[in-house]
Structure 1
Amino acid sequence: MDWDKLRIFHAVADAGSLTHAGDSLHLSQSAVSRQIRGLEESLNTTLFHRHARGLILTEQGELLFDATRAMAKRLETATARIRDSEEEVFGELRVTTAVGFGTLWLAPRLPKLYEKYPDLKIDLMLEERVLDLPMREADVAVRMKEPSQADLIRKKLMSIRMRCYASADYIARYGKPESLDDLSTHRLICQTPAAPQVAAGASLVNQLMSSDVRSTLTVNNYFGVLQAVIHNLGIGVLPDYIVEDFPTLERIFPDIESGEVPVFLAFPEELRHSKRVAAFRDFVQDEIMAHRRTIRELRDRDAD
């Protein structure tokens, strides 16, 4: 199939007009029309319905436009990757991470990244499923365990733990439990035990659930748990990185927490020289360092 004809077809389908497409392609209307007729003849089909108000794609035209649109997007992405390996940071970057980390920690910090690189187009994919980076389902991943896939560059960012928290207003109204036995007079809020989550978090939830808990609320992600906790519904199991952004929360049961959960950043070896990946990596590392400083300051303040 003639690539040049496909390029012209895509422009016409996108513009809905031979004239407008010709203007964008710097071709005459007659030249564009000839190319479209040639493409229709080669495919033995009609691609456009022609009427006074412009051009409308036929069913066959829609199928071809879907294909050329996907091709155009892939070419745009490839062009951006080639250019950003040598020039400035811009273009699409597909980032995947867990729902909790993405909503509670990463997304609130992204304005700093966009301020520095306003031409970035980040596609943030929040899900517990591990996307296949070597197969390019995403460009960069932030995962709550060390990646097992081969051909990945990986770096440990930090470690987190799941702990119990309640709002200051909740504690003022219902008191602060001192032991697990006291959970019998409180509501426990946590991720649904069967929901996809790190094993350490699930183990802590099971430990707490084994106590005589009066009432529970289970949610399938940490964002929902946090919303319930800050609205004074009970005591929640949450990752410790929330403390920086929600300083009104108070820790419950200081001696009870999950095991350590490592947080890794990973990307395919072939993106080692990508400017966009490097910009995101450096941004996350800088934010992690700032996060650690804040946590130390909060810890020192609480110790005084």
Structure 2
Amino acid sequence: MDRLRAIEYFLKVADLGSFTAAAKATGVPASSISRRIQELEAELGTTLLHRTTRNVSLTELGTVYLDEVRAAVKALDDASDLITERPASPSGLLRITSTPGYGRFSLMPALRKMRRAYPDLVVDIELTDTVYNLAQNEVDIAVRSTADLPERAVARKLTDDVFGLVASPDYLSRYGTPKVLADLKTHRTMLYRGPGRIINWQAKTKDGWVDVQTNPTFICNEGRQLIDEAIDGTGIGLLPCWSIQEELASGALVALTLEDAELSLSRSDTLGIYLLYNQPRYRLNKIKTAVDFLVAELATGDRQA
């Protein structure tokens, strides 16, 4: 039995959820794929897949086996890439995931510049708040706003995730300028909706951190929309400083400072935008090239963890 081929078929069926879909993806008859997986199961002495007339699902041991062999097969693929790729010309598919706001404002322009410099790189990027598993090689590079760095990945800090309290000149002329934390209770505010919850503002005062209760008039999970609403005078926003530099410079937004508190969306002092990758995969020319390029383009501070 060609064990590696059988494992590859097993991975494809597990990912796509059916023998028919795996057959279309591989160009191999479904009956041949099924037979190879049955031979693999016989060799292992266990059932990897539950089969019904309608669907295919993993058994408990099949799930364990999937996690183990996926990383092994990916390591073999990486070893082949390491030997065959041309060091002078990085090429191939580069899978990147990024938090949406930073991805649109900062990462996408840097990637366009990188693709012009290295036209043989194919960038597959997903802007999402979903956290992919770097250890299982679901992506090559992840860009995340976080204070909790993964233990098994290299983290290169691109910038501090500092938030600025801002409003439009029109809003301030109509509603006045807040001077202290208590003033915010009478103001219209705009909040960010994160994955699964609305993110309230946090205030660092001389007595410690407090949760800020405001009167939101607009809530959205898209940072650009919050900026546009702030410019339109909808309310006061607490926005990432890296996202509003042009608006502050042009006067479309005005930075506000409270006398008795500093505001943030997190109570962590280590919150930042980090570029994450697995150290062993850094040996691949395409990943090393992309990591080094993006850090050089985007980093205002760089640390490894």
Report the count of equivalent residues.
Answer: 224
User: For 1:124, what is the secondary structure of its paired residue?
Assistant: strand
Give, in angstroms, the shift of residue 93 of structure 1: 1.0
2:206 counterpart of 1:203 = no
Q: Which residue of 2 aligns with 1:252?
A: 256
The amino acid that maps onto 2:263 is E
Q: Which residue of the partner structure matches residue 44 of structure 1? A: none
**Residue of structure 2 equivalent to 1:225:** 226
Q: How does 1:136-147 map to 2 (within 5 A)?
A: 136-143=137-144, 144-147=146-149
Q: 1:89-238 counterparts in 2 under 5 A?
A: 89-143=90-144, 144-150=146-152, 152-192=153-193, 195=196, 203=202, 209-211=212-214, 213=215, 215-238=216-239
Whether the aligned pair in 1 keeps the contact of 2:134 and 2:277 (CA below 8 Å) is yes
Contact 1:162/1:204 (8 A) holds in 2: no
Match of 1:67 in 2: 26
Q: Counterpart in 2 of 1:42? A: none
State the shift of 1:159 in Å. Answer: 1.6
Contact 1:134 1:268 in 2 (8 A): yes
Three-state SS of the structure 2 residue aligned to 1:188 is strand
SS at match of 1:237: strand
Q: Any conservation in 2 of the 1:225–1:236 contact (CA below 8 Å)? A: yes
Q: Which sections of structure 1, spanning at least 5 residues, go unmatched?
A: 3-59, 293-304
Match of 1:275 among 285, 292, 297: 285
1:44-63 deviation digits (Å, cap 9, x = unpaired): xxxxxxxxxxxxxxxx9976
Residue 66 of structure 1 aligns to a residue whose secondary structure is helix
What does 1:49-88 align with in structure 2 at a 5 Å threshold? Answer: 64-68=23-27, 82-84=83-85, 86-88=87-89
Q: 1:232 to 1:112 in 2, by over 3 A?
A: farther
> 1 CA distance for matches of 2:281 and 2:194?
36
Moved more, 163-172 or 87-96: 163-172
Displacement of 1:209: 4.5
Determine the C-alpha separation between the residues in 2 that align with 1:172 and 1:83: 64
Q: Deviations over 1:71-124 (max 9, x none)?
A: xxx9xx867665446231222111112122212222233322222122322112
1:268 maps to amino acid: N
Deviation at 1:193, TM superposition (A): 6.8
2:81 touches 2:284 (CA, 8 Å); kept in 1? no
> What residue ranges of structure 2 are gaps of 5+ in the alignment?
3-18, 29-73
Bigger fraction of residues in strand: 2
Alpha-carbon spacing, 1:109–1:174, altered in 2? closer, same or farther (3 Å):
farther
Contact 1:128 1:197 in 2 (8 A): no
- Amino acid aligned to 1:282: D
Once residues 217 and 195 of structure 2 are traced to their aligned partners in structure 1, the CA distance between those partners, rounded to angstroms, is 15
- Asked if the contact 2:167–2:253 (Cα under 8 Å) also holds between the matched residues in 1, the reply is yes
1:288 match: 298
Code of the aligned partner of 2:257: F
Counterparts of 1:267 and 1:203, CA distance in 2: 30
TM-score, with length taken from structure 1: 0.60
Q: Quick check: 2:202–2:212 contact (8 Å CA) kept in 1?
A: no
> Hey, what's the Cα distance between the residues in 2 that align with 1:130 and 1:204?
27
Structure 1 residues 286 and 253 mapped into 2: Cα distance closer, same or farther (>3 Å)? same
Query: Which amino acid is 1:171 matched to?
Result: L
For residue 296 of structure 2, give the secondary structure of its aligned residue in structure 1: helix
8 Å contact from structure 1 (residues 100, 222) kept in 2: yes
TM-score w.r.t. the length of structure 2 is: 0.60
Task: Determine which structure has the larger helix proportion and give its number.
Answer: 1
Rounded to whole Å, the distance in 1 between the matches of 2:225 and 2:81 is 37
Deviation at 1:130, TM superposition (A): 1.6
1:149 Cα deviation from its structure 2 partner: 4.2
Does structure 2 conserve the Cα–Cα contact (< 8 Å) formed by 1:164 and 1:236? yes
